[in-house]
A and B are shown apart, each in its own frame.
Chain A
Amino acid sequence: MSSHSPAVPKRLFAATLLSLAVSAPAMAQEDPIKVGILHSLSGTMAISESTLKDTMLMLIEQQNAQGGLLGRELEPVVVDPASDWPLFAEKARQLLAQDEVDVIFGNWTSVSRKSVLPVVEELDGLLFYPVQYEGEESSENVFYTGAAPNQQAVPAVDYLMNEVGVERWVLAGTDYVYPRTTNKILEAYLKDHGVADDDIMVNYTPFGHSDWQNIVSDIADFGSQGKKTAVVSTINGDANVPFYRELGNQGIDAADIPVVAFSVGEQELSGIDTAPLVGHLAAWNYFMSVDTDTNYDFIDSWIDYTGDEMAVTNDPMEAHYIGFNMWAEAVRKAGTAEVDAVKDAIIGVSVPNLTGGYATMMPNHHITKPVLIGEIQDNGQFSIVWETPSTVAGDAWSDYLPGSRDLISDWRAPMRCGNYNVVEGRCGGGADAEVASVE
């Protein structure tokens, strides 16, 4: 029952991958830099996460083709946490303790991140998390390259309020923490902007909900009160198709009650009959249809890598693209892949994003992003109808929640605190514990 055996074949596996890759002959004889990839390759999340694994492998291959980093080769270490949340923690521990990787790119769901978080902090690893999330978290060891609520949800609501003239709001979501938190923030935000309680309807459904008849009919009712109504949807994954179908069949189209979704991207659309969705909205920080050369180059290399002419790109892929380049830049800057050095070096690093601008790592470990609103088209792409005039920096702590209003996060010396309370002037509980446990 030796625990070494799983690691040995993995090394073989990685080596095979590398030999397939265009390996640069000029690379130094030093040990490779190990990049851990922690995405589910089986189970329910494999749908979304396995493409992110491929994205990482592609980025690593490209980097190696350019001579690696600091003259050292990059070696991907792929593990499969199988959409099983406790397994995420176990596999993260394996990556950090057994395989001794220098950085981990991974996770999709909030719960998997929460599961991994204590492990990454305990073993002082680096984790790049590429998906939009609910915020309310800041860790010294985690870099959030996806959108915080203020980089997606809030601007989308702004757009609907100011550009579309929406007065009545349905906040519909799947019952888990991301929609709950996002809707809490939006509710507070809407009320701050003078929306009455009666004009907000909140609804939660279970994962994979497929019978939307009642809810859609309620939405139709709610929307027939003489005020422009919109649905802000944090409905997750599989529940979306039946939801939009029901909307379409009950005769509600985007002109009547537009739906703005935060979890519907190109990849999700690729598995849907898009007809009922056309005209509905989505808010992201990247769309495949963005008309820039860097984006077209990225898409072309993705298509070449996958060999699938119809392969799509999406927002979390861009987040990995940015995260990987930031990390690589920070390693170059620090001159080493050593975690603490990279952690300090990466703050302030700017790399190009795919939408024609730059992304910068902020001291709170979130990055700057433009916010785009796109309309769904029948080809499964988005046509961009609005974007923020400049990039928005991610907030770890929302300004609209009572518990976190006074918290800020700054991981630069000398503060080094993820939840500094500006009113009380002290660093909050989590960090104390950190200090206590280090001592």
Chain B
Amino acid sequence: MNLLKEMASRDRVFDFMAPARSPVDVRHGPILYLEDVSVSFDGFRAINDLNLTIDDGELRCIIGPNGAGKTTMMDIITGKTRPDHGSVWFGSRHDLLTMNEPQIASLGIGRKFQKPTVFEALTVFENLELAMAADKRIWPTLTARLSGEARDRIDEVLVTIGLTGHRDRPAGILSHGQKQWLEIGMLLMQRPRLLLVDEPVAGMTEQEMERTAELLTGLAGKQSVVVVEHDMGFVRSIARTVTVLHQGSVLAEGSMDQVSSDPRVVEVYLGTESDNTEDARC
């Protein structure tokens, strides 16, 4: 049974069998739709009958204590982890569970990892160049030459993320915050419809945090943005709608004020907030 499923997903490896990239259909409501999703590791239920919808152009914050399943949820959306059951739709046309990571990425879902992952050996400019929407098959990549238009676009993003001065430096020597921005910049180069951002301000200074908040709120509207974050101050500063995850399912959803006054949330999360400042992985 598993084998069949796997084969069904494997055939997508071939280009000619994969559906041509079609625009995301958001006429019928949300851009992202998770229904009854569950997954367990070694008997531990990381995600438990999770239901979640994100509207087009929305900026959503997701909070929750350690082990609530935030990162696992992102893994499921981006195709890294397969759920045991449930369905995940991007718009009303694309069943994400039938696709692999690059396919999902080329649909327009961008992801920023918890730990900033940029290509440290490459320059800032090259990082953005690789992220740029382009024909990403082998031969075109091998023979690719950068057009003036693309150069302009990269410079544009460099300005947006404030790294113009570091254009030709290896990404590895950037500061932590700069790496975070570079990663967001890379997502922007992809021209995504949906951005998944995992703990964007962890380890940032106050100023950096402000700059990041500006960046993200600036993005909302053009793109849908989902932010997973621990820092309550930061969440409060950017969020319109907040979803609280607990033990793999949604505990509460609403504005920050609504949520923080919910007694259940206070009990499981806010009450223990101080312990969670230095979380590495949930």
A–B direct contact (CB < 8 Å): no
Q: Which residues of B contact A (CB under 8 A)?
A: none
Q: Which residues of A contact B (CB under 8 A)?
A: none
